[in-house]
Structure 1
Amino acid sequence: MPIYVYWGEDDFAMEKAVNQLRDRILDPLWKDFNYSYFAPDQTDAAIAALNQAMTPAFGAGGRLVWLMNTNLGQQCPENVLAELTRTLSVIPDNSYLLLTSRNKPDERLKSTKLLKQFATEFREFALIPPWKTELIVQAVQQAAETVGVKLTAKTAEVLAESVGNDTRLLHNELEKLRLYNIDNQTALDLNTVSKLVRNTTQNSLQLAAAIRTGDTVKALTVLTDLLNAAEPGLRIVATLIGQFRTWLWVKIVTESGERNPQAIAQAAEVSNPKRIYFLQQEVKSLSVQQLISVLPLLLELEVSLKQGVSEISVLQTKVIELCQICRRN
């Protein structure tokens, strides 16, 4: 009963895992007979996938049945739950059932508990939060090592700033760098990486910095660049919320009298205590009340975007308001 459940927002990493699973299970000569996928808009997709998974593989290799973008981890009708209960424990050993979703399965549901009970792999593909820059740099270094690209610490930082937490873009940029440097075993220099890597020159963290200093003109310029680069509004807001929460916690804990960088880092959920000094300098001119006042506006902005309000207009308006809060003495 080989069952695989993948979920998360990192579409590229999940896609790679699906391709690896498919290549491992299927015999190329028998692929047309043994590979099926069911889209969420298909009628009774879950029931059809489960029935298909019960069919032993033809010829060589195994059978792979892929239930794509399923919501069985969020809601499961009684008839589908009954079919899951009946089927999961008796799927043939050479038949593999794969379920994928962007949303995390609700562990309170009976369907999720069943899947966890029988799953060979129950795996999340999560994006690194954009404001956790140290983790993004680590991910860049790990990916570069896998692809075979040698980077210095500085070029890894530059690449991380350019691609953020977009793993697909990171892979594309690393592949470009690998081909450029294919006959050279030395690490790529900063000048080469800066010229070759796509860089929008602005990111959401730079927008947060401009808002923090109350620089309305710069903040609006950065926002325009982000929108022109097709950066989703909700992703921009998620980064701003994360960054301002970090600044707020650093400020609160520091003003409480705590001087130990490790204690402050733990309270603010900052992975590298060495960053605390710089974060303290960044919020030195802001009060706790100013930082607290920022968060409700950001949450209002998030709600507005989810309700379908004009993205450009509401982002510009809220950015101006946020700058005004941070500019107050």
Structure 2
Amino acid sequence: MNTRRALLDALADGPVSGPALAADLDVSRAAVWKAVEALREEGFAVESTADGYVAPADPAYCAAGIEFELDAPYVVEYHDSLPSTNDRARELAAEGAEDVVVVADEQTGGRGRLDREWVAPSGGVWLSLLTRPTVPPARAPLFTLAAAVATVDACREAGVEAHIKWPNDVLVGGDEGSDDGGDADGRGGRKLAGILTEMEGEADRVSWLVVGIGINANIDRRTLPADATSLRAETGADVDRRRIAATLLERFATLAETADRSDRILAAWRDRASTLGRRVRVETPSGPVVGTAVDVESPGALVIDTDDGTQRVYAGDCEHLRDAGD
């Protein structure tokens, strides 16, 4: 373990003295001091007290801040601005890195599914997780479902009742019978977060997987597209982006461990989905599929009861339709 991460772990347990940490790690006190100064330069304001070094009471949104007390095996790389966190994660993948989370305060060239533009100004949670799961490419969609579950859980912890529209749109409102207008265009609610997964692999294994997640956190709703919203808009106050990012990563790490046993991921996805039980129209390469969404099956196929029988859709653009009685 490097001195920086060891220092963060020690700070989580309370004040720690430089000499004690140097002895525990078998490094010089100068190395400990250098690690402390590096944390401060990142924005993690370590305090010096008579009892030793103390973590800040309210850690900043930075690499060290997100890693502090993080119960997940990831290293965070933070940037004030990037064109795309996914692009940077792919660069790291080419260099052989793994279990790295690229975080940016803003993205200037973000994109969503189907190459749609994604507005990503300062104040959101924009991150891309690079991992190398030991699964065949056919099971990669499970990680997208896991990311959607983790994102919903992080938003709910912040006080917003988010839900999932198949396969990975994270929305607010728009439930059947609601009067907020969120379902008028078939989106199923106001867009709160999006997920974009990219991968490289061979026939029998994934070489690397990048899961890009964008959450509209502390963003003025007036700067977003008309069908989008933010955590700030929904709660009426700023949220703790550091805690949201940490919750998301911890939840994803737990689910990713079970990717070879898909039942747990699928059950969690079903529990948070608004698509199941709804009439839907899914645009697929072979044409539209219309019917009632009844289930999701591994590795992420939407099961739809249609007039022509049951169909399974593995990819497409899903629209929620109003039932005949609405």
TM-score normalised over the length of structure 1: 0.28
- Larger % of strand: which? 2
- Larger % of helix: which? 1
* Larger-gyration structure (1/2): 1
TM-score normalised over the length of structure 2: 0.28
